Chain A
């Protein structure tokens, strides 16, 4: 692990994405010919170590494509993805294996991203097994520590996933993601669909974990009101391109691009309705 030694200075970005492009093809017409559809084009952003960047955009804006490229679930068509000092955009599977432990992902739906028959222990230990870390007892002890760190009782380590509630499963997903001591967590709509009280608990947990382990977060969301409370910086993606980015207070208080303004306007619907409701009635 010499070449990718952690970056010492906080001024250096942990993740730097340059000119990232990816297109998919779709079959169309009588001959079902393939036509290319650009998913993302020329995406640039960077995240300093220990900080949070939120990538926000409406449905179909290309958020997920960026995620899939950064985590190298997909190979980008062009551009570079620098993690520490290495460009991982062109690495083959064998070289990637090493980087998989540095970058971990948390998905929106913890329910479908886990085998329901697995026990909590199996879920958390699986990445350790794949990376060949530790012996059997060591893995189990590590899994128990992770469970208490994310606010789950270590005594429930042998219970099957299906006996955990939605919020508890999201905690399990976080424990699994932390098992390999990653430096970057990619959170793909990790809070959407959760109950308000669960969302608040998980948000606080993510803030605490970041502070404790100097984690770097790439937070993907359509909810600009939520990310404004979590992120140091916001990048707005629209039609596959980043149209605006900057420190959170700046993007929120003086948005420039129409896409940012539109996101903020719809996010303010509740605020507006709330003020109108209380204004009219008294």
Chain B
């Protein structure tokens, strides 16, 4: 038993256990954004979190860095990182983790890059904050230019002196990646890193993240509403729906044999990304309805109102998590209870 635990510690980088987070403001009903969410990210792996609006995926991402707004409450659970529970750390202790050991590529680059500071100086600031003693100004500049080259800029000196508005969307995304890997963190959380980019840029950015992972052994937690970015990129996928993890598995298994009816629908829908000259003006297969209101969660399965395979039990009981096969979990009564 003791040996099992220590082996798990070697492999597992971050683990959330039963994490429940709610938002409540001024006496209004709490929004249950994350409900008993458990997931483990291994060293050097790319883990995909797949979920649509309101699934709680961004809440989870921010929670891992303790960056949630003040009206968010950590109701239960823990976030274990290198033997420490991040939920119990003080703000100065957290500052040693953020950016240095776990960093974030935020969804909204317009907000995360300062418009009036040269992008090189913004990256240098991260370096200065965490490894200041070891470098003087010119060393730091050199280090930043190397980082810019590492994310694919040939003219690193020019990019260093550019302001964010002088760069294209794809270039800004590369700058954000350079900033995120500046201190060689063990984990990078990327929230929708490709959602605003066209297909060509999207492929470039994903290739860059894969390269960083190979080169530096960095683990990535990549959050997206788009399942199609994961094949050939993520090792495993966690599917979230309405604040719950509903399925987890290896990427190929998720696509080959999705178990949860919601995952099955998403995989079917992702077929629309196949270029097909014959499919013109054919209606899309849809999941009827909308994701539930997270202030009013009933006793049953959250997907039940939209589920094509709903059974009697689904209305009254919330399905427990099952492990129908190794490296796989699913919450659905189809696979037992």
A residues with a Cβ closer than 8 A to B are 58-60, 165-168, 193, 195-201, 203-204, 207, 222-226, 228-232, 248-249, 252-253, 262-264, 266-274, 276-278, 281-282
A229 touches B279 (CB 8 A): yes
Interface SS of A by simple majority:
helix
B17 within 8 A of A: no
A-B contacts at CB below 8 angstroms, number = 141
Shortest CB distance B284–A (Å): 4
User: B196-239 vs A: 1/0 string, CB under 8 Å?
Assistant: 11111111000000000000000000000111110111000000
Output the residue of A203, A207, A228 with the most chain B CB within 10 A: A228
Q: Which of B197, B200, B225, B280 makes the CB contact (< 8 A) with A195?
A: B225
B281 touches A229 (CB 8 A): yes
A253 touches B277 (CB 8 A): yes
Q: Which of B232, B266, B270, B273 makes the CB contact (< 8 A) with A277?
A: B232
B290 touches A168 (CB 8 A): yes
A196 touches B276 (CB 8 A): no
B155 within 8 A of A: no
A273 touches B269 (CB 8 A): no
Known: A193-B195, A229-B279. A269 touches B203 (CB 8 A): yes
Across the interface, which residues of A come within 8 angstroms of B278, CB to CB? 249
Shortest CB distance B265–A (Å): 7
Expressed in whole angstroms, the Cα–Cα distance for A166 and B291 within the complex equals 11
Of all chain A residues, which has the CB nearest B256? Answer: A278
Identify 9 new A-B residue pairs, CB closer than 8 A, beyond the known A198-B52, A229-B276, A267-B275. A60-B168, A165-B53, A166-B53, A199-B284, A203-B284, A207-B281, A228-B275, A228-B279, A267-B199
Known: A200-B269, A266-B200, A271-B273. A167 touches B290 (CB 8 A): yes
Across the interface, which residues of B come within 8 angstroms of A268, CB to CB? 275
Q: Tell me the B83-140 residues at the A interface (CB within 8 Å).
A: none
A263 touches B256 (CB 8 A): no
Expressed in whole angstroms, the Cα–Cα distance for A270 and B269 within the complex equals 13
B residues with a Cβ closer than 8 A to A are 52-54, 168-170, 195-203, 225-229, 231-233, 251-252, 255-256, 265-266, 269-270, 272-287, 290-291
Shortest CB distance A112–B (Å): 12
Across the interface, which residues of B come within 8 angstroms of A60, CB to CB? 168
B251 touches A277 (CB 8 A): yes
Expressed in whole angstroms, the Cα–Cα distance for A217 and B225 within the complex equals 27
A232 touches B280 (CB 8 A): yes
Expressed in whole angstroms, the Cα–Cα distance for A201 and B283 within the complex equals 9
Expressed in whole angstroms, the Cα–Cα distance for A121 and B164 within the complex equals 39
Expressed in whole angstroms, the Cα–Cα distance for A199 and B287 within the complex equals 10
Of all chain A residues, which has the CB nearest B251? Answer: A277
Expressed in whole angstroms, the Cα–Cα distance for A196 and B285 within the complex equals 11
Expressed in whole angstroms, the Cα–Cα distance for A99 and B82 within the complex equals 64
Q: Which of A59, A197, A271 makes the CB contact (< 8 A) with B169?
A: A59
Across the interface, which residues of B come within 8 angstroms of A201, CB to CB? 284, 286
A224 touches B53 (CB 8 A): no
Q: Which of A228, A273, A276 makes the CB contact (< 8 A) with B276?
A: A228
A-B residue pairs in contact (CB < 8 Å), sample of 18: A58-B198, A167-B290, A193-B196, A196-B270, A197-B269, A198-B52, A200-B287, A225-B272, A230-B280, A232-B281, A253-B277, A263-B199, A266-B198, A271-B274, A271-B275, A276-B232, A277-B251, A277-B255
Expressed in whole angstroms, the Cα–Cα distance for A252 and B276 within the complex equals 8
Across the interface, which residues of A come within 8 angstroms of B53, CB to CB? 165-167, 195, 198
A270 touches B277 (CB 8 A): no
Expressed in whole angstroms, the Cα–Cα distance for A268 and B284 within the complex equals 19
Q: Which of B226, B231, B273 makes the CB contact (< 8 A) with A267?
A: B273
Of all chain A residues, which has the CB nearest B200? Answer: A266
Expressed in whole angstroms, the Cα–Cα distance for A158 and B270 within the complex equals 35
Expressed in whole angstroms, the Cα–Cα distance for A4 and B198 within the complex equals 38
Expressed in whole angstroms, the Cα–Cα distance for A240 and B228 within the complex equals 30
Across the interface, which residues of B come within 8 angstroms of A270, CB to CB? 228-229, 231, 270, 273-274
Shortest beta-carbon contacts, A-B, top 5: A273-B232, A252-B277, A200-B284, A195-B52, A266-B199
Across the interface, which residues of A come within 8 angstroms of B201, CB to CB? 59
Across the interface, which residues of B come within 8 angstroms of A197, CB to CB? 52, 265-266, 269, 286-287
Shortest CB distance A39–B (Å): 16
Of all chain A residues, which has the CB nearest B274? Answer: A271
Expressed in whole angstroms, the Cα–Cα distance for A203 and B286 within the complex equals 10
Shortest CB distance B257–A (Å): 11
Shortest CB distance A99–B (Å): 28
Output the residue of B201, B252, B286, B291 with the most chain A CB within 10 A: B286
Across the interface, which residues of A come within 8 angstroms of B168, CB to CB? 59-60
Expressed in whole angstroms, the Cα–Cα distance for A66 and B190 within the complex equals 34
Across the interface, which residues of A come within 8 angstroms of B52, CB to CB? 195-198
B273 touches A225 (CB 8 A): yes
Expressed in whole angstroms, the Cα–Cα distance for A80 and B169 within the complex equals 32
Across the interface, which residues of A come within 8 angstroms of B232, CB to CB? 272-274, 276-277
Of all chain A residues, which has the CB nearest B280? Answer: A248
Of all chain A residues, which has the CB nearest B192? Answer: A193
Q: Which of B200, B266, B275, B285 makes the CB contact (< 8 A) with A225?
A: B275
Known: A165-B53, A270-B274. A222 touches B199 (CB 8 A): yes
Expressed in whole angstroms, the Cα–Cα distance for A232 and B282 within the complex equals 12
Shortest CB distance B51–A (Å): 9
B281 touches A252 (CB 8 A): no
B266 touches A196 (CB 8 A): yes
Known: A165-B53, A193-B196, A196-B52. A229 touches B286 (CB 8 A): no
Known: A201-B286, A225-B272, A270-B228. A262 touches B277 (CB 8 A): no
Expressed in whole angstroms, the Cα–Cα distance for A210 and B242 within the complex equals 33
